[in-house]
Chain A
């Protein structure tokens, strides 16, 4: 186990200690104990930058289940390191923020930080694992810890609803991803991502390739809240704000992005990948930004905005795959989409994290997040307002913030789709830049709503629960750090271009031998179409924002019944009610019905097997001659059994059953089985008297009614009889081996010193069976005794007392 492994699991180890720290040092906010770890990890991962900047990678392996080929292989390359830095960096800021956000007296901090650390470790594991099954393990850990964090205030019904919803959707995707991993393993024989990438050309032609692609993508889409699986994200906003900032903007929702980026070298050859990733991404982008405008809750706006931005990154990753289909990977003409994806990934984490924290501050200092109640907070919270301006302007893609740069690159990538002539992109490809542009207009509108509805306009003190004031400095530090990053990256984008972006891009699109990506980001491209698109976005955005109250009613046009949440809720409802009704139909509590199922199944399965395998044979060669006694006894048994069915009184039935039993004893006699005959006679007598005992205690009036005739029962009983007869005949005709009885005949006296062969078999050759039959009888006797003697409360009193 190397230091790298220790770094990945260190959050888990610290999580063990958190409850002790919480109990022992109640006066100190538990967050202070947590804070050093992510900072330490962040500085540790910074040290890898020098390696990955040269587009090299570090692999450390630690065997976990070596017989199954499952090793905990940690691999740090550009992509993994970028995510690890995001996780630990924003993790530190979020922990710091949470120290001021969560009250140490009112909240259960021990559970909060345990969950948060679990999540942090799991997320590090996801991005740094090279083994797919280990990745999947950590992946489910993130779903699970996210579930715990969303339901942190578990006494609220909405928290529980949101937690359950996110759990169902992400675990659904996670399981699908597991299926994809297994398919990949079947195709390649390895779980290692590096080795799978090395074999990507061979598996391309494999018939399992497309199913694996779909399964993996389903996992990525559910985790990264892509349309139509985005519905869990807005409901996850019931979590505490630090959680929303951390999980649901910067890290967990990017796990799907990470997966798509990581698996790009494997799958991106296929046109389906490009269409699905880019298509779902662009739809998500549009739908998220469109829906964000109608939200009234700050965090809901941010949630839909996250959905939309994730869609944007996803679509860029999809478009970037097109670069593989052109000869020269060196040509950065199409790889610009991938660059934009990575760049925007970083930018989004910075500004969205700070915006969530801003929303948390507003909530914390005013008591509400509803933008209809907020307004005019600019004078009370100038610092928060500044932070919000920076974050939202970056989100809207305005210069000079970093969002502007990545949005320009996004437009560049989308416009260049027009130049592609593969996969029918020359026909439908025009939709990409158009939708992207429209979505950007909506992005601009909700960004403006977010900042101006909250901080400008009329101040409404009567609607607020608290008197608003500026947040404490501790709460402001984290968003200030993030906002400064927004500005720094905005002004000096090239400090991250060849340290973070190019290495990550090299992992997503492995370049040709000896070629290194060299990324440069410029503010000024000249008068390109992108610039005019941005100008158009700003112009139309301002116009639409100014007239928002007039066209807001557009959202009312959509029927409420057709929302995706309705489908989800309705689906759950239908699934629950449907399965309940279905269970009620077949599980009606009547044992007769169950017997009908069992026997019908018996007939159908055995009959089908006989028929399908053509198994029925009849061979009369080794049949012994039939004697007169046997015919006579068979007649007696047949008459007796059939009369039982038509007997009017139960007493008659019991006596007839006795008669049948005695006749069986006679059969034993003529088939030369004296021991059986003896036993049969005694047992038959006892069981008949037991039947009579039961009969005696029956209610009187029910004794004298004939069994009613039911056609279904008759058919089934005849069917069972026929099938068993057919199988018996067939089995008798198909004997493959002779009997082993000759051994017993020869050795009963020789080896076991007995002349009665049946008894010698029972107690000597196969005495074990007898022992347990004795046990059965003992258990039955004890059971009967205890059933009669032990009457727990509720039953009748013992009759004997």
Chain B
């Protein structure tokens, strides 16, 4: 019973990722793509969690945390890049 639900959930999220990938490919502007990527990252978190349930293991919990951090950092870096043109600014006094 639980497995069925997990499988259905994975399927739904996969469809969601497919849709987001369409947005990444098509997305008329760069911010569209970035938001889609960010959402893919979160969806990956969900999928990994579900897969962990399906495989009955706790070995992937680090992956979930890491993915959360990376998605955040990545999105922030992209946003900063779009706004200022650089990601790491040089010190002003140089």
Query: Interface of A with B (CB < 8 Å)?
Result: 628-629, 632, 636, 639-640, 643, 651-652, 655-656, 658-659, 662, 665-666, 669-670, 672, 674, 677-678, 681-682, 685, 688-689, 692-693, 696, 800-801
Interface contact B94-A800, CB-CB below 8 Å: yes
Give Cα A672–Cα B57 distance, bound, in whole angstroms. Answer: 9
- Which residues of B are found within 8 Å of A677, using beta-carbon distances? 48, 60, 63
Interface contact A670-B51, CB-CB below 8 Å: yes
Give Cα A696–Cα B41 distance, bound, in whole angstroms. Answer: 23
Give Cα A665–Cα B66 distance, bound, in whole angstroms. Answer: 12
Interface contact A666-B44, CB-CB below 8 Å: yes
Give the distance to chain B from A261, nearest Cβ to Cβ, in Å. 84
Q: A672-B55, A681-B67 are in contact. List 16 more A-B contacts (CB 8 A).
A: A629-B10, A632-B14, A643-B25, A652-B33, A655-B33, A659-B40, A662-B40, A662-B41, A669-B51, A669-B63, A678-B66, A681-B66, A685-B73, A689-B74, A696-B81, A801-B94
- Which residues of A are found within 8 Å of B85, using beta-carbon distances? 696
In the complex, whether B1 has a CB less than 8 A from a CB of chain A is no
In this complex, what residue of B is CB-closest to A635?
Answer: B18
Interface contact A636-B51, CB-CB below 8 Å: no
**Chain A interface helix/strand/loop/mixed:** helix
Query: Interface of B with A (CB < 8 Å)?
Result: 7, 10-11, 14, 17-18, 21, 24-25, 30, 33, 37, 40-41, 44, 47-48, 51, 55, 57, 59-60, 62-63, 66-67, 70, 73-74, 77, 81, 85, 87, 90, 94
- Which residues of A are found within 8 Å of B17, using beta-carbon distances? 636
- Which residues of A are found within 8 Å of B62, using beta-carbon distances? 674, 678
Give Cα A595–Cα B88 distance, bound, in whole angstroms. Answer: 36
In this complex, what residue of A is CB-closest to B15?
Answer: A632
Contact of B90 among A669, A674, A692, A800 (CB under 8 A): A800
Give the distance to chain A from B55, nearest Cβ to Cβ, in Å. 7
Give the distance to chain B from A282, nearest Cβ to Cβ, in Å. 85
Contact of A629 among B33, B51, B70 (CB under 8 A): B51
14 contacts between A and B (CB under 8 A): A628-B7, A655-B37, A656-B24, A659-B21, A659-B40, A662-B40, A666-B47, A669-B63, A670-B51, A677-B48, A678-B62, A681-B70, A685-B70, A800-B94
- Which residues of B are found within 8 Å of A652, using beta-carbon distances? 25, 33
Give Cα A670–Cα B40 distance, bound, in whole angstroms. Answer: 17
Give Cα A578–Cα B3 distance, bound, in whole angstroms. Answer: 73
Interface contact A658-B37, CB-CB below 8 Å: yes
Give the distance to chain A from B14, nearest Cβ to Cβ, in Å. 5
- Which residues of A are found within 8 Å of B11, using beta-carbon distances? 628
- Which residues of A are found within 8 Å of B25, using beta-carbon distances? 643, 652, 656
- Which residues of A are found within 8 Å of B41, using beta-carbon distances? 662
- Which residues of A are found within 8 Å of B67, using beta-carbon distances? 681
- Which residues of B are found within 8 Å of A672, using beta-carbon distances? 55, 57, 59
Contact of A674 among B18, B30, B63, B74 (CB under 8 A): B63
Give Cα A672–Cα B48 distance, bound, in whole angstroms. Answer: 11
Interface contact B51-A678, CB-CB below 8 Å: no
Interface contact B74-A659, CB-CB below 8 Å: no
Contact of A682 among B55, B70, B81 (CB under 8 A): B70
Give Cα A353–Cα B34 distance, bound, in whole angstroms. Answer: 94
Give the distance to chain B from A255, nearest Cβ to Cβ, in Å. 76
In this complex, what residue of B is CB-closest to A800?
Answer: B94
Give the distance to chain A from B22, nearest Cβ to Cβ, in Å. 10
In this complex, what residue of A is CB-closest to B47?
Answer: A666
Contact of A681 among B7, B59, B63, B94 (CB under 8 A): B63
Contact of A678 among B37, B44, B57, B63 (CB under 8 A): B63
Interface contact A692-B14, CB-CB below 8 Å: no
Contact of A659 among B7, B24, B30 (CB under 8 A): B24
Interface contact A674-B51, CB-CB below 8 Å: no
- Which residues of A are found within 8 Å of B44, using beta-carbon distances? 662, 665-666
- Which residues of A are found within 8 Å of B57, using beta-carbon distances? 672
Give Cα A630–Cα B55 distance, bound, in whole angstroms. Answer: 14
Give the distance to chain B from A409, nearest Cβ to Cβ, in Å. 98
Give Cα A689–Cα B75 distance, bound, in whole angstroms. Answer: 11
Give the distance to chain B from A672, nearest Cβ to Cβ, in Å. 7
Give Cα A639–Cα B17 distance, bound, in whole angstroms. Answer: 13
In this complex, what residue of A is CB-closest to B58?
Answer: A674
In this complex, what residue of A is CB-closest to B71?
Answer: A685
Interface contact B24-A655, CB-CB below 8 Å: yes
Contact of B74 among A651, A685, A800 (CB under 8 A): A685
Give Cα A693–Cα B78 distance, bound, in whole angstroms. Answer: 11
Give Cα A678–Cα B48 distance, bound, in whole angstroms. Answer: 12
Give Cα A682–Cα B77 distance, bound, in whole angstroms. Answer: 14
Give Cα A639–Cα B57 distance, bound, in whole angstroms. Answer: 30
Give the distance to chain B from A651, nearest Cβ to Cβ, in Å. 7
In this complex, what residue of B is CB-closest to A643?
Answer: B25
In this complex, what residue of A is CB-closest to B14?
Answer: A632
Interface contact B63-A636, CB-CB below 8 Å: no
Give Cα A689–Cα B74 distance, bound, in whole angstroms. Answer: 8
Interface contact B21-A639, CB-CB below 8 Å: yes
Give Cα A636–Cα B30 distance, bound, in whole angstroms. Answer: 21
Give Cα A640–Cα B22 distance, bound, in whole angstroms. Answer: 10
- Which residues of B are found within 8 Å of A643, using beta-carbon distances? 25
In this complex, what residue of A is CB-closest to B67?
Answer: A681
Interface contact B63-A689, CB-CB below 8 Å: no
Which 10 A-B pairs have CB atoms at the shortest separation, nearest pair first?
A674-B59, A685-B70, A677-B63, A674-B60, A632-B14, A669-B48, A678-B63, A678-B66, A669-B51, A681-B66
Give Cα A639–Cα B19 distance, bound, in whole angstroms. Answer: 13
Contact of B60 among A669, A682, A696 (CB under 8 A): A669
- Which residues of B are found within 8 Å of A659, using beta-carbon distances? 21, 24, 37, 40
Give Cα A652–Cα B34 distance, bound, in whole angstroms. Answer: 11
